[in-house]
């Protein structure tokens, strides 16, 4: 038997490791547990401020949780970062939300649901971080949950069309912001009662990104020639001025949207929203003797876990459209219809309008103009966010195959989510396309110089044809089956490499050659659809010569890529000269103005113009 001699020091070292490593681990855990308790106290204090709508102080306290060198557990830190990002989003402070989205994702990206990723993308693109948004979108684009999520797919589309889908020639409609009514807060809904137009405005900074509820609201008139500006508005109790409403033709019955708050002083965020705020529909009758409204009663009692909003009476006040997230729908908010039951003297059961209107996303703000049901959706094919749609609606039923999408500038890559037509040629919409404000009122009118004579409202016989519309399938579809819409292929264009050339040369110098070889070694072309090679020249020399030189530079790089075996479509183009010197002068760079006469051209200042850009179109 062989015995190995082990020194006393070795044994002692091993014993100390066995004792001290668990001790060190438990010490770290104790520090993080203590850090979690400390930060939870800060979070609770901030929650109380936020619930009381002291938003600036609340966000200051939330931020302090990460500035006191307190060590918290990664799990709790990630959850708090995501919570703070979500809260900043409700204040539409996109730039402030981004660092917390970044931190939460770095710590635990499993916390993010599809709605979080979409909100994160919106925060990036609305704050001008398009390249970062593209990188994030590409990360999730091939995952099943996101490939089937319509809001995510529309955001991909929006990243390609930041200025909207522009029509060929003059647009069919002109659109104007109503600056005399719009503020830095939200003007989020427009209504009409017997020719009197008014709007709902929120006096709170708190803002639901999904446009489903608002706080501290009031109704204000839109001046109409020959109409009384205060008509009916003073008859609506201030406490019930919370959102979209509808009034019967004889002004005797009103159905309004109210916000239901859960009591408490903590801010809890779930997939269903912050503290599960709910919207309810309330009805009231006008008492002619008392000259006031009766107490408001809840329309759908007993359904405490769901929201109901955006009411619209039609069919001589015998039918009601509304939006709800009640179970049994296609997902998110769907649009439903109920009819008055004369025998029971009550409303009947809600009926979902079906797959040609409702999607797995959200459908809100229904409104009927003649035979057209107008609504907003973030689940149909669109430009991004909520877009406005129309569908033929006859005798309480949707005409199959009649769904259409309003063209630009009615819809944009932002949220366009409430339309109120005045007649066939003009009306109002609500949109958040002006990022310096929140939701604003816009007035649109037909452009008489557009040369387009389509009939936008009141369609008949499926002849509702719109310019610049996205075509939807018109085939028969079982009403209980959600529509599966084919979206356009989404591609991103991104500059991946810039190569710089010597003065008056189209040959690759040693540095450019080294850069190009290194890039070819690392590039993954499996997701690249094509390369566009753009050549440029500086401003010295004749314009015609510089165009030719820029083309030669582009061809040089394109030929090298082909010879290196890059099996992707390659296009080359010469863009001619780029003017740099004037920009330098504006920035205060002092230039020797004698060079045109002496021939001593400051070519060292125009290096940036003597280049080739490789632009990849990514699938």
Please determine, for residue 333, whether its predicted confidence score (pLDDT) is greater than 70.
Answer: yes
Q: State both tokens at 48.
A: 């109380």
- CB of 324 within 8 A of CB of 308? yes
Residues of the chain with CATH 3.30.1330.60: 492-618
- pLDDT reported for residue 456: 45
Q: Which pLDDT belongs to residue 267?
A: 60
pLDDT at residue 63 greater than cutoff 80: yes
CATH 1.25.40.10 in the chain, residue ranges: 20-160
So what's the pLDDT on residue 33?
A: 77
pLDDT band of residue 418 (cuts 50, 70, 90) is: very high
Instruction: Write the pLDDT tens digit of every residue in 493-519.
Output: 677 899 999 998 999 999 999 999 999
Q: Which CATH code for domain 20-160?
A: 1.25.40.10
pLDDT grade for 582, boundaries at 50, 70 and 90: low
Architecture of the domain made up of 173-446 = 5 Propeller (2.115)
What is the C-alpha to C-alpha distance for residues 539 and 519, in angstroms, rounded to an integer?
29
Alpha carbon distance 119, 100 (integer Å): 12
pLDDT of 427 above 90:
yes
Strand stretches in 469-546, DSSP E: 492-500, 528-537
pLDDT tier, 141 (very low <50, low <70, confident <90, very high otherwise):
confident
Instruction: Give the pLDDT confidence score for residue 472 in this predicted structure.
Output: 37
The answer as to CATH 1.20.900.10 being correct for domain 492-618 is: no
The predicted pLDDT at position 481 comes to 42
> Residue 36 pLDDT more than 60?
yes
Q: Please, are residues 441 and 410 in contact by the beta-carbon 8 Å criterion?
A: no
Residues of the chain with CATH 2.115.10: 173-446
pLDDT tens readout for residues 583-601: 666 666 666 555 544 456 7
- Distance in angstroms (rounded) separating the CA atoms of residues 357 and 390: 9
Statement: residue 474 has pLDDT above 50:
no
Residue 339 to residue 233: CA distance in whole angstroms = 27
Q: What is the pLDDT of residue 468?
A: 33
Checking if the pLDDT of 453 tops 50, the result is no
Predicted confidence band of residue 465 (pLDDT cuts 50, 70, 90): very low
For residues 43-61, average pLDDT: 86
Report which of 613, 596, 207, 232 is spatially closest to residue 438, judged by C-alpha positions. 207
CA distances to 512, 581, 611 from 502, rounded to whole Å, are: 10, 17, 9
Predicted pLDDT of residue 459: 39
Average pLDDT over residues 446-465: 49
Backbone phi, then psi, for 229, in 5-degree steps? -65, -35
Q: Residue 229 pLDDT more than 50?
A: no
Name the most confidently modeled range: 71-75, 185-189, 302-306: 185-189
pLDDT digit string, tens, across residues 521-532: 888 888 788 888
Residue 462 tokens read as: 């499926």
Which pLDDT tens digit goes with each residue over 265-303?
556 555 445 545 678 899 988 877 777 777 888 888 766
Least confident range of 141-150, 182-191, 310-319, 543-552: 141-150
What local confidence, expressed as pLDDT, does residue 461 receive? 32
Give the three-class secondary structure for 175: strand
Band of pLDDT at residue 561, cut at 50, 70 and 90: very high
Res 104: pLDDT: 93
Strand 372-377 with 351-352, pairing = unpaired
The more confident residue out of 48 and 324 is 324
């Amino acid at each position: 038997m062989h015995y190995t001699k082990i020194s006393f020091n070795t044994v002692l070292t091993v014993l100390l490791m066995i004792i001290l490593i668990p001790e060190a681990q438990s010490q770290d855990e104790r520090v993080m547990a203590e850090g979690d308790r400390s930060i939870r106290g800060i979070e609770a204090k901030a929650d109380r401020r936020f619930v009381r709508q002291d938003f600036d102080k609340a966000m200051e306290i939330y931020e302090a949780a990460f500035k006191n060198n307190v060590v918290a557990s990664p799990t709790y830190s990630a959850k708090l970062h995501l919570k703070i990002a979500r809260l900043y989003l409700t204040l539409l402070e996109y730039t402030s939300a981004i660092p917390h989205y970044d931190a939460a994702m770095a710590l635990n990206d499993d916390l993010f649901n599809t709605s979080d990723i979409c909100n994160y993308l919106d925060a990036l693109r609305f704050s001008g971080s398009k390249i970062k948004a593209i990188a994030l979108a590409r990360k999730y684009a091939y995952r099943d949950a996101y490939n089937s999520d319509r809001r995510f797919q529309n955001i991909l589309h929006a990243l390609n069309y930041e200025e909207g889908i522009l029509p060929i020639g003059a647009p069919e409609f002109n659109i104007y912001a109503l600056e005399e009514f719009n503020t830095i807060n939200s003007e989020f809904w427009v209504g009409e009662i017997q020719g009197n137009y008014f709007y709902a405005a929120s006096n709170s900074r708190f803002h639901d990104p999904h446009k489903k509820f608002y706080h501290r609201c009031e109704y204000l008139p839109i001046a109409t020639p020959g109409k009384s500006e205060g008509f009916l508005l003073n008859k609506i109790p201030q406490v019930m001025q919370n959102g979209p409403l509808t009034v019967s033709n004889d002004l005797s019955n009103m159905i309004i949207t109210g916000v239901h708050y859960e009591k408490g002083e903590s801010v809890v965020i779930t997939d269903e929203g912050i503290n599960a705020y709910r919207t309810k529909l309330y009805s009231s009758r006008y008492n002619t003797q008392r000259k006031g409204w009766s107490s408001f009663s809840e329309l759908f009692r007993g359904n405490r876990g769901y929201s109901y909003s955006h009411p619209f009476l039609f069919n001589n006040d015998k039918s009601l459209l509304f939006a709800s997230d009640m179970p049994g729908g296609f997902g998110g908010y769907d649009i439903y219809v109920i009819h008055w039951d004369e025998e029971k003297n009550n409303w009947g059961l809600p009926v979902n309008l079906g797959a040609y209107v409702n999607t797995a996303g959200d459908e809100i703000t229904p409104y009927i103009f003649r035979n057209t049901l107008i609504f907003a959706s973030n689940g149909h094919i669109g430009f991004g966010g909520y877009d406005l749609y129309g569908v033929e609606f006859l005798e309480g039923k949707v005409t199959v195959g009649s769904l259409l999408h309003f063209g630009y500038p009615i819809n944009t890559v932002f949220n366009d989510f409430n339309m109120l037509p005045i007649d066939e040629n003009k009306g109002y919409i609500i949109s958040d396309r002006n990022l310096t404000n929140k939701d604003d009122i816009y007035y649109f009118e037909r452009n008489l110089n557009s040369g387009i004579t389509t009939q936008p409202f009141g369609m008949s016989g499926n002849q509702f044809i719109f310019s610049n519309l996205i075509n939807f399938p018109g085939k028969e579809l079982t009403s209980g089956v959600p529509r599966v819409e084919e979206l356009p292929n989404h591609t991103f264009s991104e500059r991946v490499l810039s190569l710089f050339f010597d003065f008056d040369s189209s040959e690759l110098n040693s540095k450019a050659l080294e850069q190009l070889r290194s890039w070819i070694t690392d590039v993954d072309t499996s997701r690249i659809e094509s390369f566009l090679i753009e050549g440029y020249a500086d401003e010295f020399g004749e314009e015609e010569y510089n165009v030719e030189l820029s083309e030669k530079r582009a061809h040089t790089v394109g030929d090298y890529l082909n010879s290196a075996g890059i099996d992707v479509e390659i296009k080359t183009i010469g863009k001619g000269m780029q003017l740099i010197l004037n920009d330098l002068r504006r920035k205060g760079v002092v230039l020797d103005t004698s060079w045109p006469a002496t021939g001593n051209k400051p070519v060292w200042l125009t290096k940036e113009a003597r280049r080739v850009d490789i632009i990849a179109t990514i699938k």
